[in-house]
Amino acid sequence: MKNATVSLVVAAAASLLAGSALAQSQLTVVNFGGANGNAQKKAYVEPFEKATGTKIVGVEYNGEQAKIKAMVETKKVTWDVVEVESPDAARGCDEGLFEKIDWAKVGNKADFQPAAVQECGVGIFIWSTVMAYNGDKLKDGPKTWADFWDTRKFAGKRGMRKGARYNLEFALMADGVPSKDVYKVLGTPAGAERAFKKMTELKPSIQWWEAGAQPPQFLVAGDVVMTTAYNGRIDAAQREGKNLQISWTGGIYDLDYWVIPKGTPNKDLAMKFIASASQPAAQAEYAKLISYGPTNNKALGNLDAKTLALLPTSPANSKDALKFDITFWADQGEALEKRFAAWAAQ
């Protein structure tokens, strides 16, 4: 009888180990989908699956930090690697939602853009929120944010992301604040008041968007004459043959990050995936598929002049750009977003 019990225990242990090996060979990677998701699949996901035999389950989301928080707090973490925007990377790290990054496993910190190296996050790419228009409908498009606000010169609706972020900065630039001074001004009560006053001027002409796929759709359909948009979404539409154009002046650039939700049973495999996606060759492949700048500077040597010219990080495109200020939005974002929500509902 004793031997039978031992056999049962051994069999159970073997089955547990097999189950655990099976769990280890599957990884859930979450991103924002669309053109970015497709580029990640080709540049990062498929090569990793091929090299390691891991099955990657892709999930799309819209940046809902609450989902990650609920998983971590209930200790039911089913997401292993998640793409987040910079404010969420910073806030989630402060709140203990993410694992600390072991940079020794990722690569040499000196090879990366300084902003890409975070305690709980690894920069994936540099992207920009820019103004865009349809070249078939506007031969001579807007050049500045003052043009974007000029409804007499350019009649028609404007697409803008529903939220305070980016819009308040654009409003101040439209009101004559140089990009380098935007956060200094916005950080004062008078500056915030000025930004909202400028937004109110444009409010009757605004058509809000919430998902990155909407701005190019609005432009193609003629719903708006110009819109704020993620540069990669416009790039994707251009690759499909749409004559959409970007004005880079006063664009706001930022990074998206890989994070690992705290308590995932697949932490080691998650780190391996992030390290693989951070290699120069992988990042260069990604930049060829969508016009977002690599965070690993060594990737730039693998790109031709034509690809480099389309990136937010190219000298011509970034000369008047504004770096999105994570610290500012971490400190003042909640109050400004609340104020924006009340303003938008009026």
Q: Are residues 218 and 339 in the same domain?
A: yes
pTM greater than the 0.85 cutoff: no
Judgement on whether residues 64 and 151 belong to the same structural domain of the protein: no
> Quick one: 42 and 184 in the same domain?
no
With 50 as the cut, is the pLDDT of residue 120 above it? yes
Q: How many domains does the chain have?
A: 2
The answer on 341 and 194 residing in a single domain is yes
Q: Average pLDDT in the 216-223 region?
A: 98
> What tokens appear for 243 in the block?
């004559």
**Segments forming the whole domain that contains residue 247:** 127-254+318-345
Are residues 202 and 327 both part of a single domain? yes
Average pLDDT over residues 36-47: 97
| Across 41-62, average pLDDT | 97
pLDDT of 263: 98
pLDDT at residue 17, rounded to an integer: 39
Q: How far is Cα 339 from Cα 133, in angstroms, rounded to an integer?
A: 29
122 shares a domain with 89:
yes
Q: Which residue has the tokens 């540069």?
A: 231
Regarding whether 118 and 133 lie in a shared domain, the answer is: no
CA torsion angle 76 80 86 88 (round to 10): 0
* pLDDT, tens only, 233-270: 999 999 999 999 999 999 999 999 999 999 999 999 99
**Same domain for 70 and 48:** yes
| pLDDT attached to residue 25 | 86
Residues 153 and 208 grouped into a single domain: yes
HSE at residue 278, side-chain half, CA atoms within 13 A, is 28
The domain that holds 104 is classified in CATH as 3.40.190.10
Same domain for 155 and 99: no
Tokens 């920069």 correspond to what residue?
123
243 and 146 belong to one structural domain: yes
* pLDDT surpasses 80 at 149: yes
Same domain, 231 and 299: no
Alpha-carbon span 294 to 278, nearest angstrom = 9
CB-side exposure of 337: number of CA atoms within 13 Å? 12
